[in-house]
């Protein structure tokens, strides 16, 4: 699900959610392995915010808001970071 021009949200089975950080690391590794070939190689980095949706959430928006806060913590902490909410 596309959220904004530079954000992407994905939903996963709760049983798979335990591996969310592992998936996030693999995404980072894939981007790092293929630099952008424009005027020389430009290294790509990916900052990722992770959260789980719970039964207590009144809507998907609540989980998206938490993951957005985690994403901004990741960006503030430096490039190529993963933060969990």
Q: Domain limits at 19? A: 2-84
For residue 1, the model assigns a pLDDT of 45
Which of the residues in the chain have pLDDT under 50?
1-2
Instruction: Quickly tell me which residue has 């009144």 as its tokens.
Output: 58
CATH of residue 23: 3.30.70.270
Our count of domains for the chain comes to 1
**DSSP classification of residue 38:** S
- pLDDT tens profile 74-85: 989 988 999 988
Q: Which residues touch 8 (CB under 8 Å, ≥6 apart)?
A: 1, 2
């Amino acid at each position: 699900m596309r959220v904004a021009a530079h954000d992407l949200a994905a939903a996963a089975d709760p049983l798979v959610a335990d591996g969310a950080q592992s998936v996030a690391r693999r995404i980072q590794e894939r981007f790092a392995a293929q630099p952008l070939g424009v005027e020389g190689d430009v290294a790509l980095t990916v900052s990722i915010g992770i959260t789980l949706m719970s039964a207590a959430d009144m809507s998907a928006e609540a989980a998206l808001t938490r993951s957005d806060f985690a994403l901004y913590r990741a960006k503030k902490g430096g490039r190529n970071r993963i933060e969990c909410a």
